[in-house]
């Protein structure tokens, strides 16, 4: 899959693409990321990409013309690559704009994108993007959460990371992402590692004895209950969704009934 990223700050992406476990996805081109510097498509000596908004008001707006040129270059580049790929079938990919007014990114969306052909990411800055560009080109608007960031680069990086880690062979254990938070609609429970006793100023801290029992069934049940308890405390809305989708067993419901949340 291929992701084309139009941004004022391509240098923000480089460290992410070359460090950490997800770099495997980028180095193997399972997730092919192409960076397009918006200033390369601006006119004039200063490569200006923004101006004051019509009607007045604070902030600056990204100009339509450099964005139009950048999007045209991305499409042309994709067409060339498709033509040079033997047997390749051109697939229309969505143009995604990151904005606080968009749909909140969730694991269901990540799984959908991880199985698709990729996308074009439009990373805004300043007060926003000329609406005419959004109306003409944008298929999907996405948000990282109910807060405002300085630009679309961080949401783009977050989405790339989430998609990359779902690719085959990227994680050390193929089952890792299957146990992540939200993979089954619930939050993931706690993890423990060595040493068995952790020395602290407040005395030694041990790990739950069940994890040392070697009884896989009991361990699995303990983990399920920890997941249920954490989700019920922090995200009761997810419990309601799981219940409506009939993803909770009778044993799950019995455990939830014992909780004081």
Which amino acids are annotated catalytic? Answer: 100, 127, 165, 180
Which of 62, 36, 42, 48 is closest to 126 using CA atoms?
62
Sorted by sequence, the CB contacts under 8 Å of residue 247 that are 6+ apart come out as 184, 185
Sorted by sequence, the CB contacts under 8 Å of residue 170 that are 6+ apart come out as 21, 22, 24, 25, 30, 164
Q: Kindly tell me the burial class for residue 159, based on how many C-beta atoms sit within 10 Å of its own C-beta (0-12, 13-18, 19 or more).
A: buried
In degrees rounded to 5, what are phi and psi of residue 26?
-80, -40
How many helical (H) and strand (E) elements, i.e. helices and strands, does the chain have? 9, 10
């Amino acid at each position: 899959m291929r992701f084309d990223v139009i941004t004022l700050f391509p240098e923000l992406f480089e460290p992410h693409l070359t460090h950490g476990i997800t770099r495997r996805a980028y180095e193997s081109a399972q997730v092919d990321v192409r960076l397009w510097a918006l200033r390369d498509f601006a006119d004039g000596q200063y490569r200006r990409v923004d101006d004051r908004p019509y009607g007045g008001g604070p902030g600056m707006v990204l100009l339509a013309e450099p964005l139009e040129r950048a999007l045209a270059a991305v499409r042309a580049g994709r067409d060339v690559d498709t033509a040079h790929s033997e047997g390749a079938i051109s697939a229309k990919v969505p143009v995604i704009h990151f904005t606080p007014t968009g749909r909140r990114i969730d694991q269901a969306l990540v799984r959908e994108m991880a199985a698709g052909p990729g996308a074009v990411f439009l990373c805004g800055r300043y007060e926003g993007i000329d609406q005419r560009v959004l109306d003409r080109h944008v298929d999907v608007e996405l948000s990282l959460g109910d807060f405002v960031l300085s630009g679309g680069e961080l949401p783009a990086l977050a989405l790339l990371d989430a998609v990359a880690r779902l690719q085959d062979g990227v994680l050390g254990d193929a089952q890792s992402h299957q146990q992540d938070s939200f993979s089954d609609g619930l939050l993931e429970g706690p993890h423990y590692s060595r040493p068995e006793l952790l020395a602290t100023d407040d005395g030694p801290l041990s790990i739950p004895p069940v994890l040392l029992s070697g009884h896989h069934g009991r361990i699995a049940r303990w983990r399920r209950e920890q997941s249920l308890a954490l989700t019920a405390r922090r995200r009761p809305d997810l419990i309601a969704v799981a219940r409506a989708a009939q993803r909770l067993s009778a044993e799950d419901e019995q455990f939830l009934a014992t909780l004081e949340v």
